Amino acid sequence: MKKYKSIVKLLAISFLTAFSITSCTEDAMDKVNENPNNPQDVPAKFLITDLGVNTGFSIVGGDFSLYSSVYIEHEVGISNQLYRAETRIGEPTIATTYNNTWGSVYSDIKNAKIAIKKCQEDPSEIGNVVTEAIARIYLAYNGAIVTDLFGDTPFSETGILNENGTPAFMQPKIETQESIYAEINKNLDEAIALLDGGNAVDAGPSGAVGSKDYIYSGKASSWYKAAYALKARYTMRLLNRSNDKTKDLNDILTYVSKSFQSANEECKLSIYNGDSQVNPLWGFSYSRNSLAASKSLIDKFAERNDPRSPQAFLEPDPTGYIVYGEGGVQATNIEDIVAAPNGTPDEVQNTYGMSMPSWAITTPTLLISYHEVKFLEAEALCRLGRTKEAEVALKEAISAAIVNLGNAIADAADNWVGGENNLNKEVAEAYFDKSVKPLFDANPLKETMIQKYLAFFGGSGESVEAYNDYRRLKGAGENFIELKNPLNSNKFPYRFGYGADDVLANPAVKTAFGDGQYVYTEPVWWAGGSR
């Protein structure tokens, strides 16, 4: 078993990865030597590099996922900011909570727009259609994240620069979620057209994006499939607002058919090597140790005799040495996990068990997974009454998800805490036949959504999507997923609060934010709200 034991080295990694929980605002001294008004003029392909890394590491794998995992009860916050989020003591309604990641997602939106403009107007870039398509996909992706979490928000006026590099709009207007989603889908459609069925090539004088794309190395056919996967995700997201649900559900099936055919094709950031680059959840666990095993989640596993529990969890480590590369014992039964109660844990570290994926140091971050696509297919088929086909899709979705979690467990076991993994396709299929199928037969849609919720637990950054699904289903009156935090009766966060930078600088955002209490009372538009 391999162990990373160089404390000095790991401390350097922990801090140099720039992973920070968001209640900590940036120090002004960090910006002394930066001129925000004059970004470097670099080829668009280098912007694609930054977009891939930042979207995967900071946006998908970062604070948004951490807080979502607490709200959706994949994890329990037991220290510092996440404890306050767990117990609803200020954190969900404070403008600084998500500020750093708020800034990161808008940086992505700006860079995507710059890359698109360069590919359209810069003589050295004209003809780089794959690069432009990737930038449009990232623009859609980050736009969806920011509006899914914050609702009505600035979008079209952000990231627009004057000729001298200064922002064209210092106080960008707030736009409706509906209009933002129109732009999201427009950009995905334009990306799909540019990719020409996956046959497009970059032909600009500056050269192809190639290896500067850390996701697919500039492979047009892969991005083509990813764009259709996102079309399926976002069409389902807007289902509550659909004027023709049957058409939209059939469209989802069409998008799925043009998307990933296996987990080998899914859209993920897999640059983590356990050395200079580490999985963001591992980086957070190592530096903060603020998450504990969730009783709500473990109870759901136990109810189904799910093979993911107890294998995916560690026993408590009273020595605390796990954060230094020692300790950590994989649980062999559920009682030994000592799960933290949701909403009422003690603010103590090392008293409760933890999830194994928290210590998966090289596990990729999933921007959109193969198993998510199969879950979308299963849901669409359930809603269309095609349950036999839905069962086939669901079985494949669960199998892929369990294998993905097994890979994270193996990563943690091999590289950090020890233990073993036996989660494979055969185990998953046996679990489906014995435990899932009877529940599916009784209520196909309900069991599909519960299984999707369980599948998004782990180190891959999918808790945001579980949070989105929960809110979407709740908006439709489909209360399939039972959460256990007693504070949810009046303090479930229906959305995230705007970032402090814009609350302070943009009067429109300041007015919309108010005292922040709206996060407990106002669902976003696609979940039945008004903004």
For the record, the structure tokens of 103 come out as 């800034």
User: 226-245, pLDDT tens digit by residue?
Assistant: 999 999 999 999 999 999 99
In 3D, which of 371, 53, 133 has the Cα closest to residue 232? 371
Instruction: Name the stretches of the chain with pLDDT < 50.
Output: 1-39
The domain in which residue 200 lies consists of 21-27+41-283+359-527
Give the distance from CA 277 to its chain's centroid.
18
Per-residue exposure over 164-191, b if at least 16 CB sit within 10 Å of its own CB, e if not: eeebeeeebebbbbeebbebbbebbebb
Question: CB count, 10 Å around CB of 16?
Answer: 12
Give the whole-angstrom CA distance, residue 269 versus residue 61: 10
The amino acid present at 116, given as its one-letter code, is I
First to last CA, the chain: 51
Give the whole-angstrom CA distance, residue 354 versus residue 168: 47
356: which residues sit within 8 A by CB, 6+ positions away?
311, 312, 313, 314, 330, 408, 409, 412, 413, 417, 419
Please check whether residue 243 lies inside any domain of the structure. yes
The amino acid present at 389, given as its one-letter code, is E
Please check whether residue 118 lies inside any domain of the structure. yes
**Alpha-carbon dihedral sign for residues 467, 92, 497, 513:** positive
Per-residue exposure over 245-269, b if at least 16 CB sit within 10 Å of its own CB, e if not: eeebbebbbebbebbbeebebbbbb
Give the whole-angstrom CA distance, residue 469 versus residue 462: 11
Q: How many CA atoms lie within 13 A of 268 on its CB side?
A: 24
Give the whole-angstrom CA distance, residue 391 versus residue 436: 10
Query: Which pTM does this prediction carry?
Result: 0.94
Strands (E), 321-400: 354-355, 365-368
> What is the longest distance spanned by two Cα atoms in the chain?
65
Please check whether residue 5 lies inside any domain of the structure. no
Please list the residues that pair with 340 across neighbouring strands. Answer: 294
Please check whether residue 338 lies inside any domain of the structure. no
Give the whole-angstrom CA distance, residue 106 versus residue 169: 13
Please check whether residue 334 lies inside any domain of the structure. no
The predicted pLDDT at position 340 comes to 98
For the record, the structure tokens of 302 come out as 């136990």
Please check whether residue 101 lies inside any domain of the structure. yes
Q: Into how many domains does the chain fold?
A: 1
**Alpha-carbon dihedral sign for residues 148, 149, 153, 159:** negative
Please check whether residue 354 lies inside any domain of the structure. no
Q: CATH no. for residue 267?
A: 1.25.40.390
Please check whether residue 10 lies inside any domain of the structure. no
- Is 270 strand, coil or helix? coil
